[in-house]
Structure 1
Amino acid sequence: MEHALIRPAVPDDAEAIGRIHVAVWQHAYAGLLPQQALDELDPVARGAWWRKGLITGAASAWVAVRGGEIVGFAGAGPAVGEPEITQLYTLYVLPEHHGTGVAGPLTAAASGDGPALFNVLDGNARAIRFYEKIGFRFDGHTSTERLFGIEVVEHRMIRD
């Protein structure tokens, strides 16, 4: 399989990013978040959100392109409350491209090679294995958040 081209996202990528965002949430969070809420996610609305963010600079992302198709994206920025550390906010790769070597370069492009952190949803075993493989480890910090009307636990993973 050909290597993916990793490049900064542009507003014209927003539709594909929105589609991937929703598809990956529906796949990765099945059984972890309410199914009805996952089923109701709207890729068009998510794409519009990304388009606006990419145009205004409120959001930034890197995309992975393989065979002319965007197959994943990642976004990072200063960590909330710890701006000297990069926080990986998003890393989503279409399920059919899992294990193909796309996620590592996307992570590197978005988060650089310095200290970084990522909050992973409790129970997201696949993501945990991936982040451990590329050098992230749990630091013992957990937080709770409300998503779709339920309280979820996230665990912080860091890369020194």
Structure 2
Amino acid sequence: MADAAVRPALPTDAAEIARIQQVTWQTAYAAILPAEVLAGLDAEETERLWLEAVTTGPATVLVATEGEWVVGFCAAGPAPIEEIAAADGALPVDAESTALVSVLLVEPRWGRRGHAGRLLATAAARLRDQGAQRGVTWVAEADQASLSFFRSAGWDTDGTIRTLDAGGRPLRELRLTGSLELSLVE
């Protein structure tokens, strides 16, 4: 494998991040999201949103590279209250030290080469440096690959489920949580 690394995203990466998101959703989520939702993804708007995320946060956006190619990305940062609250609205005792991994995607053709693990381990280290101890993420219940990945990192469901509207069809997501004391195993 060529040199693989993780680095902070640059504004010039926004178009590639948007492309990776679109390709990954259309490939990996074809059985999860309605076709009209996938067909309706607006590349220019997605790029604009990623440029804003890269330049103004609040999450840190990282990209995984292999050689000269950007192959995946991760956005992680402070967890908004609504992302960590229990169903009754109660906050966990560690709310102040809980972070959100809002997205972690690797383009399918670059999968199974360690990029997702490098992204998560790097994000976890940065979050720990900012005082976070625990992370949360949301994964579609039908996305077995992502559930398996996070479980292999020691994260697991905490019993919280939310249902989103995916083009008129319900999309159930499970909240996973785990320690940010992760180390990269090469």
Task: Tell me the TM-score normalised to structure 2 length.
Answer: 0.80
Structure 2 residue 140 is matched with structure 1 residue 121 = yes
Structure 2 residue 151 is matched with structure 1 residue 132 = yes
Q: Give the drift of 1:78.
A: 1.6
Rg larger in 1 or in 2?
Answer: 2
Describe the superposition over 1:30-51 as per-residue Cα deviations: whole angstroms up to 9, x where unpaired.
1111012102213232112111
Structure 2 residue 65 is matched with structure 1 residue 65 = yes
8 Å CA contact retained: 1:21, 1:43: no
Aligned amino acid, residue 38 of structure 2:
L
Give the structure with the larger strand fraction: 1
Cα distance in 2, alignment partners of residues 34 and 55 from structure 1: 31
The corresponding residue for 1:88 is 101
8 Å CA contact retained: 2:5, 2:118: no
8 Å CA contact retained: 1:87, 1:111: no
RMSD, aligned CA? 1.6
| Counterpart pick for 1:152 among 140, 155, 171 | 171
Instruction: State the identity %.
Output: 33
The corresponding residue for 1:24 is 24
Give the paired residue count: 160
Q: Give the drift of 1:61.
A: 0.5
Describe the superposition over 1:50-84 as per-residue Cα deviations: whole angstroms up to 9, x where unpaired.
11232233453000111211000001112221342
Cα distance in 2, alignment partners of residues 83 and 5 from structure 1: 30
Cα distance in 1, alignment partners of residues 155 and 106 from structure 2: 18
The corresponding residue for 1:35 is 35
In structure 1, stretches of 5+ residues that fail to align are: none
- CA gap 1:83/1:34 in 2 versus in 1, 3 angstroms: farther
8 Å CA contact retained: 1:4, 1:66: yes
Task: Tell me the TM-score normalised to structure 1 length.
Answer: 0.92
Cα distance in 2, alignment partners of residues 44 and 69 from structure 1: 21
| Counterpart pick for 1:111 among 113, 118, 124 | 124
Q: Give the drift of 1:23.
A: 0.9
Q: Give the drift of 1:115.
A: 1.3
The corresponding residue for 1:10 is 10
